[in-house]
A = this chain, B = another copy of it.
């Protein structure tokens, strides 16, 4: 096998043609993403139940790994909200937050995610992500966002409350409202109000003040940084930590440690389903944003290479004290808008985060957790897409059912139950919809060699030949329907001698459908009717030849439906021609 170095290391393609102009753009984008990423990485670690430095560690080597192996030019990888929630849900079942076992399990989860993604990518099985239908993903993200926002209320109120679902969180919150810490609530409430104001009002204000739209946008995006800086100063100056405002405290300074995830088979088995779900959800979201951005510059991404890139990023997280990462939506959009030309922007971001982790962590000592929680709440509430729920309801009740099941179960039971129910239901509803293949009894259009649906066109039908056009591939879920449809049609036509199955749209026939066809042929035979086929595609014919089908087929295979009618009922084709002749004469006389 010849090994293509560009396939092995996609970074070679952009490194080879790297220009000085690109560097300026990548540098600017790298700085801007860093400013956005520092508070986010601390906050999402908090959401995942992990110490703040873990968020920083997950934002260094994983970014470099993705830059080397990913195929998107502008995707910004790192900790994201939904994956952090899923990590908390999976690891929280096995260990207490803050314990060494919890950290170890988070590393193992990142490792398993990485291996799973890598395996899918190398086996080119990325299509498995297609099982997550859009409505299920959309419902999942919206419901998760609500769950995340609610789970952060404990930090904003300053009360100790846990739980994986609405059913657990809401009563616990309600029960501890009395213990609310007023100073914490003041800090959290102010931060929330400020962040919502920045998000909704600052940008138009700045634009009216004469700033360009891009600069105004970036300043608005830097809102969380302002909140972080101001709140650190306020907590320090007012001594709020002593008043019970929970702060981040000491973050160990330094580069990420080298870590070995626990090689613990029972633990791996327990984490595997969660790792698979996290990988798939992360992958779907990543590909979606990466493709959107690539298309804007008429670039292409390779989904299977994305799997490899994300897999490498997660493996990097697992060996450097991080946790599961994926492509972030908002951060990638900012990266793209800031002008990132190549994945070097990500490497630059990683460099700045490494500097932060090495030297700047003491600055975050007085950072209140309530402010981090507020940045999470504001970030995730933009993920709630009620419009999608409404649109889906209007467009398709089946899709809505799958979406509703996902939302209800995510909120009521937990993230994993929700997404599994959604996937199962969308598959079941799809199978149900395809149990009835589209078929039509056809007749000859007068004066032509075409055959059309007898219910929609004025066509000539034969008394002795019934032609059924099958408009879909035949497989186990719809084969029995075809049996029943044909037997019904035959039972209603006593003069029938031939049945022709017209197969122009049949792309494959599985073993169940093959047996059904054989049963149809045999049953028609005992009733004195012969079965024929027409317009069978080449590959389908090749496969039928590998079976015993032609021992059962009592009739012939015709290349065209017209040839079939000429052979089986020449009178009918003459009648069709005659009708045309008569029409022509009639129109001539007028």
Contact surface of A with B, Cβ cutoff 8 Å:
127, 129-135, 287-288, 291-292, 294-296, 298-300, 303, 391-392, 394-396, 398-400, 426-427, 430-433, 435-436, 438, 471-473, 475-481, 483-484, 487-488, 490-491, 505, 507-508, 510-512, 514-516, 519, 522-524, 526-527, 543, 546-548
Residues B432 and A480 in contact, CB atoms below 8 Å apart: no
Jot down 16 A-B pairs with beta carbons below 8 A, ordered by A. Answer: A130-B479, A133-B476, A134-B515, A291-B487, A296-B523, A296-B526, A299-B491, A391-B511, A391-B547, A395-B511, A395-B546, A395-B547, A399-B512, A400-B511, A430-B510, A438-B507
Q: What chain B residues lie within 8 Å of A399 (beta carbons)? A: 510-512
Are B398 and A510 within 8 A (Cβ)? yes
**Within 8 Å CB of A519, what residues of B?**
288, 291-292
B484 x A303 contact (CB < 8 A): yes
A511 touches B392 (CB 8 A): yes
Chain B residue nearest to A547 in the complex (CB): B395
**Chain B residues with CB under 8 A of A514:** 395
Please name all residues of chain B whose beta carbon is closer than 8 Å to the beta carbon of A511 when the two chains form the complex.
133-135, 391-392, 395-396, 399-400
A295 near B527 with CB under 8 A, answer: yes
Interface residue from B131, B133, B473 paired with A510 (Cβ < 8 Å): B133
- Contact at A478–B130, with CB atoms within 8 Å? yes
Q: Which B residues lie within 8 Å of A432 (CB)?
A: 127
A572 to chain B, nearest CB (A): 23
A41 to B545: give the CA distance in the assembly, Å. 43
In the bound complex, do residue A130 and residue B543 qualify as a contact, i.e. CB atoms below 8 Å apart? Answer: no
Residues of B within 8 A of A400 (CB): 511
B contact residues around A527 at 8 Å (CB): 295-296, 298
B512-A295 in contact (CB<8A): no
Chain B CB within 10 Å, residue with most, of A476, A508, A511, A526: A511
13 new A-B contacts at CB < 8 Å, known A130-B480, A395-B546: A127-B432, A130-B435, A130-B477, A131-B431, A131-B476, A134-B476, A134-B515, A288-B519, A291-B487, A394-B547, A398-B510, A399-B510, A430-B475
Set of chain B residues within 8 Å of A548, measured between Cβ atoms: 391
Query: Which single residue of chain B is at the shortest CB-CB distance from A294?
Result: B487
**CB-CB < 8 A to A480: which residues of B?**
127, 129-130, 287, 303
Q: Are B507 and A471 interface neighbours, CB within 8 A? A: yes
Shortest A72–chain B CB gap in Å is 13
The answer to whether A477 touches B131, judged by C-beta atoms less than 8 angstroms apart, is yes
Can you name the residue of chain B whose Cβ is closest to the Cβ of A512?
A: B134
Specify how many copies of this chain sit in the oligomer.
Answer: 2
Q: Give the chain B neighbours of A505 by CB distance below 8 A.
A: 471, 505
Q: How far is the CA of A455 from the CA of B472 in the complex (A)?
A: 22
Chain B residues with CB below 8 A from A487, complex form = 291, 294-295, 300
Residues of B within 8 A of A433 (CB): 508
B472 and A507 form a contact (CB under 8 A): yes
What's the minimum C-beta distance from A46 to chain B, rounded to whole angstroms? Answer: 32
**Distance of A110 Cα from B548 Cα, bound (Å):** 39
Q: Whole-angstrom distance from the CB of A341 to the nearest CB of chain B? A: 17
Residue of A127, A129, A476, A527 contacting most chain B CB atoms (<10 Å): A476
A544 shortest CB reach to chain B, Å = 9
CA distance A427 to B510 in the complex (A): 12
A488: nearest chain-B partner, CB-CB: B300
Is A491 touching B130 in the complex (CB atoms < 8 A)? no
CB distance from A119 to the nearest CB of B (A): 16
The distance from the CB of A39 to the nearest CB of chain B, in whole angstroms, is 30
Q: Select from chain B the residue with minimum beta-carbon distance to A456.
A: B538
Name the B residues within 8 Å of A427 (CB-CB): 427, 431
Q: Report A502 CB to chain B, min CB distance, Å.
A: 14
Instruction: Give Cα A396 to B473, complex, Å.
Output: 15
Expressed in whole angstroms, the Cα–Cα distance for A346 and B589 within the complex equals 68
Q: How far, in whole Å, are A364 and B587 apart by their CA atoms in the complex?
A: 86
| Set of chain B residues within 8 Å of A430, measured between Cβ atoms | 475-477, 510
CB distance from A477 to the nearest CB of B (A): 5
Q: In the complex, how many angstroms separate the beta carbon of A162 from the nearest chain B beta carbon?
A: 30
CA A274 to CA B335, docked complex, whole Å: 55
A526 CB to nearest B CB, Å = 4
Contacting residues, chain B, for A476 (C-beta < 8 A): 130-134, 426, 430
Q: Which B residues lie within 8 Å of A133 (CB)? A: 475-476, 510-512
Q: A430-B476, A507-B438 are in contact. Are A396 and B131 (CB under 8 A)?
A: no
Which residues of chain B come closer than 8 Å to A303, judged between CB atoms?
A: 480, 484
Bound CA–CA A429/B547 (angstroms)? 20
Q: Taking CB as reference atom, which chain B residue is nearest A504? A: B505
Complex-state Cα separation, A338 to B420, whole angstroms = 52
A543 to B, closest residue via Cβ: B395
Complex Cα distance, B346 from A503, in Å, reads 41
A523 to B300, CA, bound (A): 11
